[in-house]
Amino acid sequence: MSPKISIVIPTHDRKDLLEACLRGLEAQDLPFDSFEVIVVMDGPADAAREFLDAYRPPFSFKYFEQENKGVCAARNLGNRHAAADLVLCLDDDVVAAPKLVREHLNSHQRDESLGCFVQGGLELRPSLLKTPFLRYQGKLRRAFRKKMQKAGAALEDIDVSGGNFSITKSALDAVGGFDERLKGLANTDGNLAYRLKRNGVRFVYNGQALGFLGHLKDFEERLRACFLYGRTYVIMQKEFPETLWKHSPWVYDRRSPLRNLLRLYILRCSRSRRNYLWIEPRLKRAIGICEALGLTPMAEILYRLVQDFCFWKGADAESGGDLQRFYPKDVPVLCYHNVSDAHNKEYWRYILPVEKFKRQIRWLRDKGYQTVSLDVLFDYLDHGAAIPEKPVVITFDDGYRDLKTTASPFLAQMGFHHIHFINSGKLDGTTDWVRRAPDLPILSRDDLREMAALPGAAADFQAHGKNHLSLRSQDARTALREISECVGDLESLLGKPVRYLAYPYGEHDATAIQAVASANLRAAFTVEPGLCRPGQDFYRLKRVEVFSHDFFLDFILNVKWGWSPIAASRKRLKNIFKKLVRRLRS
């Protein structure tokens, strides 16, 4: 009877750990003829060889040797000799719980295609947790397992950790197996997981396929591993440019101001070729003091900090000092409405005087800002495509006719690209959706054709919904019709694809987001203040509105920070004053 699953264990001169690993497999609660075990020794290991020569397990067993080619080569060698199509990759320091192999088999049997990647659980034995740092590592592992046990939790490729996972040989062969070029580096399992994900493999976490770690990296080992993780991150990004942001701690781990400040300091030192390595010994000294005084929360903050430092030190070393390209820029997306010298008491905050608008644009030019198209912005946010040093996006909502003679010609003259978000059902009409100002004229179809012919393709046109209906609280059919009909109208009118949407009023919900996805649009914009940065939801991208009552300093802060604390304070004071007046009147 051929085995259902082949267990491949790479090892390197760790006889005691390997023996414990194999004894754990002897205690599995399924027939021994249902699996085989293959051990691959990487490099000379006399004690391990002597043990394996004398080893007589109850299951099918064989071992191979290779000359210091690394763990990836060892796993590939074992996979080539596997009799089963399903392979369980187990590290030599993992002691399997009795149900581990059975649970891996069950997970694959539940997947009809047998094409999933199954990550088993890993726990630490209490006897390992001898130091504050190892106890901290144990705390992180428990938190991860708890997160994955929640209903609806999904395992991502970035969550994959080696030591206990299974995959079919056919899925491995389809992506070329483990990457042997990563010898001596870290996160080789993450590299494999990403290539599997690109190939459509589904990821599954099964905490019941449990293994117990017999060894855990101590503090210094962990820091060396973080350095290697940083090097691997750069190598992987060169092969797969789209991983630049997906695997960057600067994107998925932005919550700590302390870590962000440290990263900026490393970046500036790298750019100016200044030494920053003095930081590491000082952080270690601070950790030692915290551990001695029993300041566990502070020590845990510093553990994260020094590991992050070592990661970026590795990335800096592998990139040859070119850390700048790994720094995620914040991109301001400005949202204007009308630009005109017309006066409208009811709608004045949305009508920016022409000279005020020109002053803002001249400031952008003088400060070195360069406008970018939405395609350039999206490609940068998605996979780090080239973007100017100081990018800015200029957008206009609703398509007011005044823009044809005020804003658009001036921007074209300045060489500034800009985007108009258009309600296709309102062309040739007025702002009849604005209760306070229903008579403001909207661009005509002929106007759009003329503006699309501006020099340098300065003006672009994207969707704003057909009839300027709020997409919040609409049913799925209405939301999709509003978006898709607007997209179709604009594409027919202009003869070019429409890929982006600005939500009318900036309002949206889960149904609206699903409608955007169903319409095959690349991104959608809100009017939530803030800057666009890698890692944001493409269907909730931020824009900062520019109002006529803003001070010029408000505009500068909006460009630099994505919001103005001065304007926010004025708004709060105004609301307080209104409440006070209402109380006095009552």
Q: Rounded to 5 degrees, what are φ and ψ at 556? A: -60, -45
Are 56 and 22 within one domain? yes
Question: Is the residue at 460 inside a domain?
Answer: yes
Give, for 89, the enclosing helix (H) or strand (E).
Answer: strand 86-90
Are 22 and 73 within one domain? yes
Cα gap 296→274, rounded to integer Å: 32
Are 365 and 457 within one domain? yes
CATH code for the domain in which residue 524 is found: 3.20.20.370
Question: Is the residue at 221 inside a domain?
Answer: no
Q: How many domains does the chain have?
A: 3
Residue 54 half-sphere exposure, CB side, CA atoms within 13 Å?
A: 7
| Secondary structure (DSSP) of 342-399 | ---TTTGGGEE-HHHHHHHHHHHHHTT-EE--HHHHHHHHHH-----SSEEEEEEES-
Question: Is the residue at 199 inside a domain?
Answer: yes
Q: Rounded to 5 degrees, what are φ and ψ at 333? A: -115, 110
Question: Is the residue at 13 inside a domain?
Answer: yes
Are 513 and 417 within one domain? yes
Q: Rounded to 5 degrees, what are φ and ψ at 362? A: -65, -40
Tokens of residue 95, six digits: 């002691």
Is residue 228 classed exposed, middle or buried when 0-12, 13-18 and 19+ CB atoms within 10 A define those classes? buried
Are 27 and 165 within one domain? yes
The DSSP code for 563 is S
Domain boundary among 297, 326, 355: 326
Cα gap 582→586, rounded to integer Å: 6
Are 199 and 252 within one domain? no
Tokens of residue 249, six digits: 């701690």
Domain boundary among 280, 297, 326: 326
Residues 244, 248, 254, 259: is their CA dihedral positive or negative?
A: negative
| pLDDT tens profile 356-365 | 999 999 999 9
The confidence score (pLDDT) of residue 157 equals 87
Question: 60 forms bridges with which residues in the sheet?
Answer: 36
Are 289 and 177 within one domain? no
Cα gap 521→535, rounded to integer Å: 18
Are 260 and 391 within one domain? no
Cα gap 521→501, rounded to integer Å: 7
| pLDDT tens profile 452-489 | 988 888 999 999 999 999 999 899 999 999 999 999 99
Are 491 and 344 within one domain? yes
Most distant CA atoms of the chain, gap in Å = 95
Task: Find the domain containing 408 and state its range.
Answer: 333-549
For 441: left if phi > 0, alpha if psi spans -120 to 50, otherwise beta; the answer is: beta
Question: Is the residue at 560 inside a domain?
Answer: no
- pLDDT under 50 in the chain at which residues? none
CB 38, CB 119: distance < 8 Å = no
Q: What is the Cα 37 distance to its own chain's centre?
A: 37
Domain boundary among 200, 215, 230: 215
State the pTM of this model.
Answer: 0.86
Output the CA angle 236-311-288, nearest 5 degrees. 160
Cα gap 231→11, rounded to integer Å: 23
Are 367 and 441 within one domain? yes
Are 269 and 411 within one domain? no
Are 164 and 72 within one domain? yes
Number of other residues whose CB lies within 10 A of the CB of residue 574: 10
| Secondary structure (DSSP) of 450-516 | HHHTSGGG-EEEEE--SS----TT--HHHHHHHHHHHHHHHHHHHSS---EEE-GGG---HHHHHHH
The DSSP code for 167 is E
Question: Is the residue at 222 inside a domain?
Answer: no
The confidence score (pLDDT) of residue 216 equals 81
Question: Is the residue at 581 inside a domain?
Answer: no
| pLDDT tens profile 224-269 | 999 999 999 999 999 999 899 988 999 988 888 999 999 999 999 9
CATH code for the domain in which residue 14 is found: 3.90.550.10
SS3 of residue 426 by DSSP:
helix
Question: Is the residue at 525 inside a domain?
Answer: yes
